[in-house]
Structure formats: C-alpha cells, structure tokens
Amino acid sequence: MDLLATLRTTGAVRGFTADPVDDATVASVLDTACFAPSGGNRQPWRVAVVKDAALRRAMAGLMRPVWEEYCGANAAGHRPFAFGRSIDAPPVAVPNALIDDIQSVPVVLAIAADLRDIAIMDGNLDRPPVVGGASIYPFCWSILLAARAHGLGGVLTTFLSRAEPAAAPALGLPADHALVATIFLGVPTHQNTKLRRNPVNSFATIDRFDGDSFG
C-alpha cells in the first residue's frame, strides 16, 4: 500500500477470522517494527508472543475487572482513568470479544519497555510522566502498520498495564521493565478504513497553543 494511504486508513481491528497467523509472519512483522525510532537508538522493547492458553486466560482475568471499571466510569459520564485516577462508579459488565475470547485471537503480544533505557524527561514534574512513551509507542504503532502490510489487522490496548503487579510474575516481566501494551493481531473480519478525525485547524495553532489557528 501507499504509505500515506496506509497511515490514513489503518483503523483499530477487534474482530478476527479463524485463519491462523504463522510464526514467520509474526517474526516478519516484528523485524519491520524494530526499525521504529527510540531515544538514543536504545530499542528498549521486549515482546512476549503469548501462545499458552492458560496464560492467555490469566491475562484476560486480569483485564476484565479493569475493563468493567472503565465501562462503569463511562456509564457514569466520566473520562475513565484520566491521569490514572479511578472513578468512584460501580463497574459495568460489558462483553469484550478480545478479553472474553482471548484464546481464539490469532496473535497476542505483550509489550514491555526497559525503563533503564528510557529518558523520562518529565519525571520530575508534578503530574504523571508521559514523554517516556516516545521511545516505545512508535514501535507498537509500527507493529500495527507492518501487520497491515501482511493483510492483518490489530489493536493496541493498555488494560493489562493497570494490573502489571499481578501480570508480571505470569509473564516473567524482567526487573526495571514496564508492561506498556498488549497487541492483538489477526486476519480482520472487517478493516475499518473510513476514519473520522478532527481537522488540522482544530488542533494546530501558530507560535503558541493559544495562537491563531493553523491550516
């Protein structure tokens, strides 16, 4: 695909066919994704290709309460987990195919980042740090783009990260690493390519964030 067309039409895919994805394809996706940029070219990523059914069920069991908390906050009219805060709202049990049927997802990737190789430039500010993600999330996005080139679709989630202390032993998460994402891949039942995004002039301004609209 043309690069610009790919960037403009790669929507999240949460439904997959029963078609298997072989290890060679997954390896090729990861081999392409590892050319993503990272601070100092440290390449801090680690990937667990999770195949074991019991481990997948354990991951789903940890994600389900987080998902229900998320749905409960939404139902109460709140932004779930804004700046990491929990919302005092009752959880809501909503079906989630990726969690409920995790054993049938063709590819499940747990992504970790070695925090020793990431510069957290905003770590001393009086708010949750965010800029460290610059060294790991381009890699995650490159996985999704590379998967698209192989006719696959996928989605990145962070629900398991909220349960990192419980997930770490099961996944063998190394010390000084953070569980930054879970990525699901497979042959899509539908590839959403008609994406809705805000226009440039709604988020870009000249010189200052309160400057005149750009574009």
Residues 112-141 have pLDDT tens digits of 999 999 999 999 999 999 999 999 999 999
Whether the pTM exceeds 0.85: the reply is: yes
- pLDDT-derived band at 81 (thresholds 50, 70, 90) equals confident
Q: Are 93 and 69 in contact (CB under 8 A)?
A: no
State mean pLDDT over 27-40.
98
The residues, ordered by sequence, that sit 6+ positions from 126 with a Cβ below 8 Å of its Cβ are none
Q: Are 192 and 124 in contact (CB under 8 A)?
A: no
- pLDDT-derived band at 83 (thresholds 50, 70, 90) equals confident
- pLDDT-derived band at 84 (thresholds 50, 70, 90) equals low
Rounded to 10°, the helix 137-149/23-33 angle is 130
Rounded to 10°, the helix 164-171/53-75 angle is 170
Round to whole Å and give the CA distance between 15 and 105: 9
Q: 10 is written with which tokens?
A: 């790669």
Q: Are 173 and 167 in contact (CB under 8 A)?
A: yes
> Which strands sit side by side in the sheet containing 153-157, from one edge to the other?
45-49, 107-114, 177-186, 153-157
Round to whole Å and give the CA distance between 48 and 33: 14
Residue 144: what pLDDT? Answer: 98
Q: Are 38 and 115 in contact (CB under 8 A)?
A: no
Arithmetic mean of pLDDT over the chain = 96
Reduced to 3 states (helix: H, G, I; strand: E, B; else coil), residue 157 is strand
As a whole number of Å, the CA-based R_g of the chain is 18
